[in-house]
Every structure is written in C-alpha cells, then in structure tokens.
Amino acid sequence: MSAALNGRIVFLVGASGAGKTAAARFLGTRGPWAGHTHFFDSIGVPSPGEMDTEFGGPEAWQRWATERWVERLAARPEPLQLLEGQTRPSFVRSAAAAHPEVEVRIVLLDCSAETRARRLAGPRGQPELATGRMEGWAAYLRGQADALGLPVIETDGLTVEEVAARIETIALAVERDAP
C-alpha cells in the first residue's frame, strides 16, 4: 500500500447465493478482518415503494447506499476493511473516486445457476430468489466485472475456507509501482 493511502477497503460483490456472506462471516472471525467486516444491508433496506418515493427507484437507492458505505468506511482508521453486498461495481468505483485517501478493491463472487439455486433453497431457505431475474442480475454483475477488469472468484465446488483464501490473496496483494 502506498504511504499516501489511509487504508484499503475490499468490496465483495455478487448476486444472492454466490457465497459473499458466508465468506465475509468466515473472514470476519480471523486475522486482519476481525472487527472490520461489514454487511451492506445492515444499514437497512427500504421497501420497493420507499426506494421509489425517497430515492427514485432501487438503482438510485443502491447508488446512494454505496456512496454512504464508501464515505463511512473511508473515514475509519482501520488499515483493512471488508464490505460484502449486492451493488454494482461501477457504483463502487464512482464512490471510491471521491475518496482517494483509501484504496478500494472489488472482488466479484459468482457461481452457476444450479449452485445458486441449491444454496438459496438449502442454507439460505430462500428458494424464491432462484429466478431468471436473479440470474440476469448475476450476468449483469459479471459483465461489469469483466468490463472493469475485476477479479472474479467462481465459488462452485469451493469450500468457504477456499473462497476466503482466494479473497485474501487478491485483497492482501501488494501492488508494485511500475519502474
């Protein structure tokens, strides 16, 4: 990390069932992540009607919430923080541009439709989320990650520990200045 930076914020993004929350919870129990792991929805998610009337729609709320999270985490003195949630990588990039004092890394977690459906029906108990709409959202996020050159972790067939190890490899890598 450059001496000019106050810290690093790692955003785990992805559609429901990709493994974000499980990986974040696991990481939050250990090492540099303990006490510095945050969950996007913990700020409260308004109803669709409230999103429409108060923010102009779900996308506008998501942009607003992403900006608040980046602002909030950038103000904290921790050298390393983790935030998991469903938000657009482009919103994270835009919000991070207003806070050059921190380094922001974005990692997309993704999985197959079959894995997503199994996870949502099993551990999550939310089989109603395994829809074409969710798969469209996952494809949209994958497209943004690809367009922005972001790292993607395919979580199919991986344990939570393996996903966490891959996140740490990406998050903790030291970027070297070009000669």
CATH of the domain at 67: 3.40.50.300
Specify if 66 maps to a domain: yes
Question: Tell me: the pLDDT tens digits for 130-154?
Answer: 899 999 999 999 999 999 999 999 9
Angle between helices 132-148 and 89-97 (to 10 degrees): 40
* 103 phi and psi angles, rounded to 5 deg: -95, 130
Contact 115, 16 (CB under 8 A): no
Specify if 179 maps to a domain: no
pLDDT at 176: 46
* Owning domain of residue 37: 7-172
Specify if 177 maps to a domain: no
Q: How many domains in the chain?
A: 1
pLDDT 10s digit of each residue in the chain, 179 long? 334 457 899 999 999 999 999 999 999 999 889 999 999 988 888 888 998 999 999 899 999 999 999 999 999 989 999 999 999 999 999 999 999 999 999 999 999 999 999 999 987 788 888 899 999 999 999 999 999 999 999 999 999 999 999 999 999 887 544 34
Helix, coil or strand: residue 38 = strand
pLDDT at 91: 97
